[in-house]
Chains A and B, each alone.
Chain A
Amino acid sequence: MNFFKRKTTQPSSGCLGKGDNSNKINFSLSIKNTWLLWLCQCLNIAVIALELSTWMLAIISLSLVWQALLLHQNRDRVKAKKPIKTGIQLNHRQNTHLNKQRVTNVAPILLGIFALLGCLAIAITAKEVGILTSMLHLLCFSYVLKAFELKARSDFYQLFLLGLFVLASSLIFRQDLAFTLITFTLLVINLAVLLQLFSLEKAFATNIKVVVILLGQSILLAIVLFLVFPRLSPFWQVPLAKSAETGLPDTVKPGDIANLTRSTKLAFRADFGQQKAPAYSQLYWRAMVLEDYDGRQWSKQKAARTTPSNTVAGADKSSNDKSLTFDASTTDVLPLNYQVIVEPSFQKYLFALAPAVVAGDKSGIKAQTGYTFSSTSVISQAKSYQLASYLTAPLALELSQKSKQVNLRFPEGSNPRLEQFALQLQHNYADVQARAQAVLTFINKEKYAYTLQPQLLDNNSLDQFFFDTQSGFCVHYASAFTFLMRASGVPARMVTGYLGGEYNGDDAQQFNSKGHLSIYQYDAHAWSEIWVAGKGWLRIDPTSAVDPQRVNSGWSSELLQQQSALNNDLISLYQLKNSALLNALRLQFDALDYQWTRWVIGFTTKQQYNLFKNLFGKMASWKLALVIGVSLIISMATFMLFLHLLNRAKHTQQVLSKWQVVYQKALAQLAKQGMGKPAGMTVNDFAKQVREQYPELAIAFTRLSASYNSLCYQTLSINEQDKLALTMQHHYRQFLHILKKQS
C-alpha cells in the first residue's frame, strides 16, 4: 500500500534509460532498501559460498560488485536531479521517500550475453563437478542475475524466493546447530527485507521484530510439520567429497593426514550411554584398512576383486570373507555397546572400535573385511548406528594364504635402505613381536620428531623419511613401520581412522555419566597392524614410540600451537583450550549441538515411522497419510476459525491506542486534583483551563495535549507516530513529576 507509483512525468528522473519506459514500471524502492536487498543477497550467497566452485564465486562476486556500482551511480544521479520545490516541509518529505528505480540501466542484450555465457560454463563443467553442484551453480547464478532486472513487484517476489531457495540448499551440506542458527538468522533477515519493501514507513528493527514474532507464532505448525511431514531421500545423486578436508582419503601417502588434522570440524560422535567409556588410548576408531602398497601410497585392497581365481571360487571367497568379519558368537568377551552419530562426510566408510558387530538396526550398514563398516549409501546427512564392540577379543586367529600374500607384498627395490634394515632385523630378532618392539625402540631412541609440518619427501620415499628427515606425522611412522614389517616377512597392514575423542559431560570415568565423545577431524590417525600366529592381528601404533602423549591423552600443546600457526584462525583450538571459560563454552555448545544432531537431525524416516506406529498402531502407509492429512486440515481449520472469532471480538470493541491511554491517565490524575474535564470540552480548551488553574503544569500539560491532538487527528506516517508517541510519554512523565512535586 505504500509503494510509490511513478505518476508524474518528470523528464528523465535519472534512473531510467528511456522516458517511455516509465509507463511499464510500477514498482520502485528507496535507496536504503535497495542496499538492504543487496546486502541480504550477499549474505545469502556467503552461506553457500564454500560449496561453489571458485570460478562461479568469481562470476557471482563480479555481478554483485557490478550491482553495487550501479546502485552507487544511481544514487548520485538521483541526488543531482533532485526536484526543487517550494516549501521546506515538502522538500523534507521528498527526501525521505525518494522514489528510485532499482538497477535498470543495464542493456538487456549485455545481460543476456552474460547469462548465456554463464549457463554455457555451467553446462560444460556439469560433468566434472556433478549434477548437484552444477544445479547449485545455476541457482546462485540466476539469483544474482535476477537482481539486474527488478522492474515489477513479481520480480521482487522471485528474487526473494530464489534467496530462500539458496538458503535452504545450503542446508544440504551442513546441518549442525551453529550453521542452522546462522541460516535461521538469515531467514529472519530475508523476511524482514521483504517486509521492508512493503512497509517503507517502519524502521528495519521494527520489521525484524515483527518477523520474529510471526516466526514464533508459526513454531507450533513447524513442530507439527517436523513430526508428520514425510522425509524423502534426496532426489539427486549426492556427490562424493573430493577435498581432503571433509574426511579420510581412500588412499594414503605420507603427509596426507597431516592436512586433515588442520580441520577442527566434527567427524562423528559416540555415546556410550551408561557404560564407562574406554580409556583414551583404547579409542582407535577404525575406518579403513589399507593393504595395497605400491611403493608410494597405501590403498584399499582391490586385487581380490580383480583376480579371476577368486571370482570362480565363490564358496572360497565367502568363507574367506567370513573369517575377516567378526563373529560375536565365538568370543566370551563382554560387549561394549554404544551409539555412533556420523556427521555428513560424503563418503561411505563408518567408524567402529574393532572388533565390533552392529547391535541395532542393520539396514544401510555393511560389515567389510578388515573389521570395518561402511554405509550402503553416501553419508550426506547425519547417520546414527548402534555397535557392540569386543575390545579385547583377538582379530582373525587364522589368516588365509591369500591374505597373507597380500599383506606381505611390497614393490621390491622401492625403499632399498629400509629393506636392508628389515633383513637385518629379521636376522637379529626371530620373534615377530620382539622384532616389532625393536623397531619401536629404535624410533624412540633415535632423534625422530612428531610434527604436523614434515619435510616433503621426494616421491614419497620412506627411505628418505626414515633415515634422512626423521620427522613426520602418524602416516609416516605407520607407513615405515608397516613396510619394515612386511619386508622382514611379517604380514602387516595400514589402518586409518581416528584416535581418541573429546569427552563432553560429567566425569568420563564414572558410571551413569551422561555425556558423549566428540571426535574431530584433527583426531584423524593412522596406525598399523601385524599378524602374529596364535594372537591374530595386533595393533601397533608407532606414533606411541615418538609421541606417547598423542596416544595416551591427545594432542600436546606443541602440536596445538603448530596447528594454530598453520590455520591462522581467529580463534584457534589452541587458544580455546588454553582459556578455561572459552573451553567450557565450547563444550557447552558442543553438548547442545549433540542434542540437536541426535533429536532433530537424527529424526529420520525410520524414527518417524516408529513414532506413528507407537501412536496409532501398525497401519498401511496410505492410511497413515490420510490420518495425518485430515487431522492437519482439521486442526488448521479450527485454528483459523479461532483466530477469526478472536479478531471479530476485537473489532466490536475498539481498542484504545496507547496515546489515548496515556491521556486518559493524565486526565485521571487531574481529576484527583479536582480538575475534571467536561465531556464536551476539547483537548485544547481543557489545556487552556488547566493553564489558568495550575500555571505550574501549564507547559507539560499543553505539550501533552498538543502531542495528543497530533497523534489523534493528524495524518502521520507510522514512523512519525512512533516518535511522537515517545515524546508524549516523555511529556507525561514530566507532567507526573511536576504533579508529585506539588503535592
Chain B
Amino acid sequence: MPQTPPVLDQIQTSQQSITAILNKIETVVLGKPKECRLALACLLAQGHLLIEDLPGMGKTTLAHVLATTLGLSYQRTQFTNDLLPADVVGFSIFDKETNRFELHKGPIFNQVVLADEINRASPKTQSALLEAMAEQQVSIDGITHELPTPFFVIATQNPLFHAGTYPLPESQLDRFMMRLSLGFPDLKAEKQILLSMSQRTNQTLQNVKVDNEAMIEQEELIAIQDAVTQINVSNDVLDYIIALSHVSRRAYSGQANVANMTWDNTPEINCKPLSPRASKALLQAAKAMAFIDNRDYVLPDDVQAVFYVVCQHRLEMQPNQQIGSNQRDSSSVANQILNCVDVLNPLGYS
C-alpha cells in the first residue's frame, strides 16, 4: 500500500530533534553511543527502561539526561528498603480546614519517574509500581487516577549479588521493555570524563540538570511515538521475530507450531520462554530503532540490535551476574538464539 507518507513525513520532520537529543545525551554519557540510542529507542517505543549496573557507572546520569532532554516533568525517587508504596504512589490526607481528605500525589504522577536503585526497595513497594507501569493508572484509597502521558518509568538497579537487594519479580521484569547495562567506559572515554570534571569545578549532578534544557516539544514526542507504531514491518521481519521467540520455547512447548520448523533443527537452549508480550516489545523496539535510523521500514538489523536488551532479562534462568554485557556476547542466551535463526529464511522454508 502506498499510503505511507505520514510516517516518512514524521521521520523527516523529527530527524533534527532526534539527532539533537542523541548528541545531548552523548555529551553527558560519554563513550556509550550505542546504549544512548537504545535508551532513546526504548522511550520512543513507549517502553519502560531498566538500567542495571554497578554503582557509579552513570546509570542515574543517563536517566536524568533522558528525562530532561525529552522535556518531560520528572521526579526522582530514591528507593530504599524502608520505602512504602504510599511514598511512591501518594496518599490521602485529612485537611482540617476544608474538613476533607485531600490527595497528596506521589512522585509517580510525573511523566518520567526515576526509580533509583529499585531493587533496594521491598517487594511490596516494587509491586506498587506494577499497576502504574502496566495500566498507566494508580488506585489510591479505591479511587483510580489516570497518570499523565507520555509516561515512562526509568529504573536503575544494582546487580543482584550486591548486598541489600531484593530481586525484581519476573512479572515486573517483564514490564520493562529493555534492560540496559552501561558497563565500564573505555579508557579514552574515562579520561574525558575526568577531564571534563576538572574543567568544570564544583560540578555536581545538580549542574548537569540545569544544563539540560528540553530538546523536543511534547506534541512532537507524542507524534513520534505514534509514527513509530506505524512503521512498516514486512512479512519477513515478522517471521524473523516469531522464529526468534519460537526457538526460546523449545523446553516448554510440546511441538513446533510453526510450519516447517521442527525441533530437530533447533538447538537446545537453556532459557525461559519468551512471551508474546516479549515479541511485541521486540517489534516495537525494533520499529523505534528504525525510526532513529530514518527508515520507515524495519530491518532484521534493528531486531538484532534490540534483541539482547529486550529479551535477555526475560530469557535468563539465573539473575544477571555480568556487568556491561549488552554487547554481542556469544555465550549469552540471547546471542545463542540469534545465531541459530537464519535471517534470510527465518521459518526454515525449503
Contact = CB atoms under 8 A, between A and B. Distances in A.
A684 to B, nearest CB: 5
Interface string A697-716: 00000000000010011110
B8 A90 contact: yes
B103 interface: no
A691 to B, nearest CB: 15
28 contacts: A85-B9, A87-B5, A87-B12, A90-B9, A97-B2, A201-B2, A654-B349, A660-B344, A664-B344, A678-B339, A679-B339, A679-B340, A679-B342, A679-B343, A680-B340, A680-B341, A680-B342, A681-B343, A682-B299, A682-B304, A685-B301, A713-B297, A713-B298, A713-B300, A714-B232, A714-B234, A714-B297, A715-B2
Interface of A: 2, 85-87, 89-90, 93, 97, 201, 652-654, 660, 663-664, 678-685, 709, 712-715, 717
A713 B237 contact: yes
B8 A684 contact: no
Contacts of B232: 714-715
Nearest to A91: B5
B251 to A, nearest CB: 20
Nearest to B338: A680
Contact of A680 (B9, B339, B349): B339
Given A87-B12, A89-B8, A683-B300, A715 B1 contact: yes
Contact of A86 (B13, B304, B343): B13
Contact of A712 (B1, B236, B340): B236
Determine the interface band of chain B, counting residues with CB < 8 A from chain A.
20 to 34
A714 B296 CA distance: 8
Given A87-B8, A89-B8, A682 B300 contact: yes
Given A680-B342, A685-B301, A715 B234 contact: yes
Interface string B139-179: 00000000000000000000000000000000000000000
Closest 3 CB pairs of A and B: A680-B339, A679-B342, A715-B232
Interface in B314-350: 338-344, 349-350
Nearest to B232: A715
The interface centre, meaning the residue of B2, B13, B350 with most chain A CB atoms within 10 A of its CB, is B2
Contacts of A87: 5, 8-9, 12-13
Nearest to A715: B232
Nearest to A4: B3
A93 B234 CA distance: 20
A89 B12 contact: yes
The interface centre, meaning the residue of A201, A678, A681, A685 with most chain B CB atoms within 10 A of its CB, is A681
B170 to A, nearest CB: 27
B16 interface: no
Interface string B17-37: 000000000000000000000
A715 B5 CA distance: 11
Contacts of A654: 349
A465 to B, nearest CB: 76
A129 B343 CA distance: 73
A717 B237 CA distance: 18
B4 interface: yes
A715 B301 contact: no
Contact of B301 (A89, A201, A682, A714): A682
Interface string B76-96: 000000000000000000000
A527 B297 CA distance: 85
A505 B103 CA distance: 108
A682 B8 contact: no
A683 B343 contact: yes
Contacts of B339: 678-680
Given A682-B343, A713-B237, A715-B4, A86 B297 contact: no
Contacts of B13: 86-87
A86 B9 contact: yes
Contacts of A89: 5, 8, 12
Given A86-B13, A683-B344, A713-B297, 13 more contacts: A2-B2, A87-B9, A90-B5, A679-B340, A679-B343, A682-B343, A683-B300, A683-B301, A685-B301, A709-B299, A714-B296, A715-B296, A717-B2
A653 B8 CA distance: 34
Contacts of B343: 679-683
Contacts of B2: 2, 93, 97, 201, 715, 717
Interface in B255-301: 259, 296-301
Nearest to A680: B339
A709 B2 CA distance: 18
A709 to B, nearest CB: 6
Interface string B235-252: 011000000000000000
B116 to A, nearest CB: 36
A302 B8 CA distance: 87
The interface centre, meaning the residue of A87, A201, A713 with most chain B CB atoms within 10 A of its CB, is A713
Nearest to B231: A715
Contacts of B8: 87, 89-90
Contacts of A682: 299-301, 304, 343
